[in-house]
A and B are shown apart, each in its own frame.
Chain A
Amino acid sequence: MAKLLKNRELLLVVAIAVLLAIIALRFPAFVAPSNLARVYNDTSILVILALGQMAVILTRCIDLSMAANLALCGMVAAMLNNFFPGLPIPLIIFAAMALGGFLGAINGTLVWKLNIPPIVVTLGTLTIYRGLIFVLTNGKWINAHEMSDPFKALPRLVVAGMPVLSWLSFLMIALMFLVIGRTPLGRAFYAVGGNPHAAVYTGIDVGRTRFFAYCLSGTLAGLSGYLWVSRYAVAYVDIAAGFELDIIAACVIGGISIAGGIGSVAGAVLGALFLGVIKNALPVIDISPFAQLAISGTVIIIAVAVNARAERRKGRVILKKAEAV
């Protein structure tokens, strides 16, 4: 049992199952497969964003600008669609991802070349990207009737029983599994976050690795921008305001160490799902939105405490072994 509890991913699966079981006691309909699929679909964007954030956190950095990046790319996608209704949707998605990647590259360049602390860089660009939306639109909204039908329909389109939104998140999870687990770049993320000094000696360029992590998080934010705007069929300055904290929370709950170097794709996904289940269940149980915020916050602190305890316990094991030598 102690060994099982050490596996954070498994622990999270158990936590989510327990959570669902408690909810099911009073609202059996919540755990119906169709509803669970709906809850997943609702969490898809958070999953995609958490994957990007994870890459950045692994390198001992943080990206506070993801939600602002999402909002700016979403707005640009909506404007493209508004001005050129004939533009193919894949091209719009590509443009949103390219813009997101570029905005991420700005973060990465500032962290890499100017050596500014990541939290300061992304706090700054967060404000700049939000401000740019206002500059672009003068504060105007783009509403559902100003968007073309294919633009709005794609995320909801059901393919093989699941909406495209869910499928896209599956695709991103699979891609991140490959990048993180099967490429030298993914390995470098862990090395840079785990021990930047040692990484330098092994020939890894720490700054460049962080730059690529930011490009990745930016690109995923760009994709999420399109998905968000088309799904909710509205774009304005403040969409996804404050969502950066949910993204980071999902990573933290998922066992991604804020100190870098520790974490997994499965953890990020499960962390996002845990948060998604809570957010979807609380209104069902009829808890006020304010209490919902407090509960979400409590869960985050509990998760961090559990992770911190797990790491401390690991430290003691090392000492005992060292003594035994």
Chain B
Amino acid sequence: MDPLLLQDTTTSRMKPAIALEGISKSFPGVRALSDVSLALYPGSVTALVGENGAGKSTLVKILTGIYQPDAGAIRLADRETTFPTALAASRAGVTAIHQETVLFDELSVAENIFLGHAPRNRFGLIDWKKLNADAKTLLNRAGADFDPTIRLRDLGIAKKHLVAIARALSVDARVVIMDEPTAALSHKEIHELYALIERLKANGKAILFISHKFDEIFRIADRYTVFRDGAMIGEGLIADVSQDDLVRMMVGRAVGSVYPKKEVAIGQPVLTVSGYRHPTEFEDINFELRRGEILGFYGLVGAGRSEFMQSLIGITRPSAGAVKLDGEVLVIRSPAEAIRAGIVYVPEERGRQGAIIGMPIFQNITLPSLSQTSRSGFLRLAQEFALAREYTSRLDLRAASLDQDVGTLSGGNQQKVVIAKWLATRPKVIILDEPTKGIDIGSKAAVHAFMSELAAQGLSVIMVSSEIPEIMGMSDRVIVMREGRVAGRFERSELTAEKLVRAAAGIETQAGGGAA
């Protein structure tokens, strides 16, 4: 049966606990959700599936009152409602349990559970006895047996989840959203979470379960909804679909044609990384990067790609591993040494790690190149302007003046400033971490075109990206990482979206990743 056309009969007579209808939401330059619907039923787990950027987190933020939809309606038990604030959503019985729990480390478990609605005694003061006793009861219902008076920071991440769930029970939540709840959990803890979800189901809660891991989805979910590019692609019962169906719905689209990838003669190896490992973040990273090559690093968020890159440029230290640049052994102890050697890293979080807001554009660009532009310890502003002008014009930056604050530029133009900053150091290897995340389509195309141009000029590019079309459209080769290890290597010719998703999510089937 085609899942896209699946008519769901078993739950159609049951009323949803909450339903979103025709929800649209746009941000400047980006349409995050267009006309999506989602229904969550009491006593049922719905898995929300989609690539990064499919609009899952925007939807969660609308459900929890953090964003307001531009169009569409929220129905709560058949009554149309709005969630103007996070508090309104919480009062209506919608709670979210996030990947990183949003609780207070310095407060006790019981205080965390009852924060904002603690039981009062007749003097209007907090009734501590009742608070702790009620907390104990709720913890028991959540399947936890620890003392509610201990401080939250003494608990591990799994137990913090239990506290978050107890809190959800305390406000009598009807809808529980779990956003990648297992990301930080051990194998045993995940099984405890499954048991807990079963209990929540038995209590009639409607559960939205967001995960990239297919084994989890098929283990715990009753229903599924697939999002792609901000639109709902399909929904139905898990029992009626296979993993392959879901993967196809997630990625199914034409790719490749819109990407301005140039055919470049790949040259000699420039960068060789062997045996890179870190005690907690990644291990056994080996690869070669050649001249003129774009090497894609694909994986789920948290697969250890950025952590490895940061270690490669000397922000963190690996516990073992060797790097060769142009055949010579290189020891990188700091980002300054990496820049000097010709390896630069354009970080993922543009706001936090990229542009320095409040500083003029030209100063942002010349920051890592000051040794070039200054003479005998003094800056030469004319040289700085010349360098900044050269690279901003190559990137087609639109700004009134190079003297203006970077903060006044749009996201896409800020990204161009950050890339110009690194190109101005004349690197041999450039590492781009999520180079087009959160920027508008026009700027994306410019960044891709420029990336292609760079490779054509003989630069070697490492592109970390969680967007399959970008990875497939731009890479000569792809390395897939999963849980800190290399999970697959693919040549451009053998790339398919399904292979990438399988390797990244760890789906064990015939078409895995062969070693390249």
Query: Which A175-234 residues have a C-beta within 8 angstroms of B?
Result: 178, 181-184, 186-187, 190-191, 194-195, 197-205
What chain A residues lie within 8 Å of B315 (beta carbons)?
200-201
- Within 8 Å by CB of A195, from B337, B357, B377, B412, lies B357
Q: Is A321 a contact partner of B408 (Cβ separation < 8 A)? A: yes
Q: Is B408 a contact partner of A318 (Cβ separation < 8 A)? A: yes
Q: Is A201 a contact partner of B359 (Cβ separation < 8 A)? A: no
CB distance from A265 to the nearest CB of B (A): 15
Q: Which 5 A-B pairs have the closest CB atoms?
A: A203-B336, A325-B410, A194-B356, A202-B368, A195-B356
Q: Is B379 a contact partner of A183 (Cβ separation < 8 A)? A: yes
The yes or no answer to B342 lying at the interface (CB within 8 A) is no
Query: Which B335-383 residues have a C-beta within 8 angstroms of A?
Result: 335-340, 345, 347, 349, 352-359, 363, 367-368, 370-371, 374, 377-379
What chain A residues lie within 8 Å of B134 (beta carbons)?
none
What chain A residues lie within 8 Å of B337 (beta carbons)?
203
Q: Is B28 a contact partner of A200 (Cβ separation < 8 A)? A: no
Name, among A190, A204, A322, the residue most crowded by chain B CB atoms within 10 Å (CB to CB): A322
The yes or no answer to B421 lying at the interface (CB within 8 A) is yes
Interface residues of B (CB under 8 A from A): 28-29, 313, 315, 334-340, 345, 347, 349, 352-359, 363, 367-368, 370-371, 374, 377-379, 405, 407-412, 421, 440
What chain B residues lie within 8 Å of A321 (beta carbons)?
408-410
Known: A191-B367, A203-B368. A198 touches B355 (CB 8 A): yes
Name, among A178, A198, A199, the residue most crowded by chain B CB atoms within 10 Å (CB to CB): A198
- 8 of the cross-chain contacts (CB-CB < 8 Å) are A182-B378, A183-B374, A183-B378, A184-B374, A201-B345, A203-B334, A203-B335, A261-B359
Name, among B347, B355, B357, the residue most crowded by chain A CB atoms within 10 Å (CB to CB): B357
The yes or no answer to A314 lying at the interface (CB within 8 A) is yes
Q: Is A187 a contact partner of B411 (Cβ separation < 8 A)? A: no
**B354 nearest CB neighbor, chain A only:** A198
Query: Which A308-325 residues have a C-beta within 8 angstroms of B?
Result: 314, 317-318, 321-323, 325
What chain A residues lie within 8 Å of B378 (beta carbons)?
178, 182-183
Q: Is A205 a contact partner of B334 (Cβ separation < 8 A)? A: yes
The yes or no answer to A295 lying at the interface (CB within 8 A) is no
A183 to B379, CA, bound (A): 5
- Within 8 Å by CB of A198, from B29, B353, B374, B408, lies B353
Q: Is A199 a contact partner of B356 (Cβ separation < 8 A)? A: yes
CB distance from A318 to the nearest CB of B (A): 5
What chain B residues lie within 8 Å of A197 (beta carbons)?
349, 352-353
Interface class of chain A by DSSP: helix
Q: Is B408 a contact partner of A200 (Cβ separation < 8 A)? A: no
The yes or no answer to A266 lying at the interface (CB within 8 A) is no
What chain A residues lie within 8 Å of B377 (beta carbons)?
183-184
Q: Is A322 a contact partner of B411 (Cβ separation < 8 A)? A: yes
Residue count of chain A within 8 Å CB distance of chain B = 29
The yes or no answer to A262 lying at the interface (CB within 8 A) is yes
What chain A residues lie within 8 Å of B409 (beta carbons)?
321
Q: Is B334 a contact partner of A262 (Cβ separation < 8 A)? A: no
Query: Which A254-288 residues have a C-beta within 8 angstroms of B?
Result: 261-262
What chain A residues lie within 8 Å of B29 (beta carbons)?
325
Q: Is B339 a contact partner of A203 (Cβ separation < 8 A)? A: yes
- Within 8 Å by CB of B356, from A178, A198, A323, A325, lies A198
CB distance from B499 to the nearest CB of A (A): 32
A199 to B377, CA, bound (A): 19
Known: A202-B367, A322-B28. A191 touches B379 (CB 8 A): no
What chain A residues lie within 8 Å of B374 (beta carbons)?
183-184
What chain B residues lie within 8 Å of A187 (beta carbons)?
363, 367, 370, 379
What chain B residues lie within 8 Å of A262 (beta carbons)?
358
Q: Is B363 a contact partner of A190 (Cβ separation < 8 A)? A: yes
What chain A residues lie within 8 Å of B340 (beta carbons)?
203
**B384 nearest CB neighbor, chain A only:** A187
What chain B residues lie within 8 Å of A325 (beta carbons)?
28-29, 410, 412, 440
Name, among B28, B367, B379, B410, the residue most crowded by chain A CB atoms within 10 Å (CB to CB): B367
- Within 8 Å by CB of B359, from A181, A184, A191, A200, lies A191
A183 to B370, CA, bound (A): 9
A187 to B367, CA, bound (A): 8
**B381 nearest CB neighbor, chain A only:** A182
Name, among A191, A202, A261, the residue most crowded by chain B CB atoms within 10 Å (CB to CB): A202
A119 to B29, CA, bound (A): 42
Q: Apart from A201-B335, A203-B338, A325-B410, what are 19 other A-B pairs with CB-CB below 8 Å?
A: A183-B379, A184-B370, A184-B377, A184-B379, A190-B359, A195-B353, A197-B349, A198-B353, A200-B315, A202-B339, A203-B368, A204-B367, A261-B356, A261-B358, A317-B408, A318-B407, A322-B28, A325-B412, A325-B440
A183 to B338, CA, bound (A): 22
CB distance from A254 to the nearest CB of B (A): 16
CB distance from B397 to the nearest CB of A (A): 13
A183 to B408, CA, bound (A): 25
A194 to B354, CA, bound (A): 11
A182 to B382, CA, bound (A): 12
A218 to B356, CA, bound (A): 27
**B378 nearest CB neighbor, chain A only:** A182
A97 to B440, CA, bound (A): 54
Query: Which A140-168 residues have a C-beta within 8 angstroms of B?
Result: none
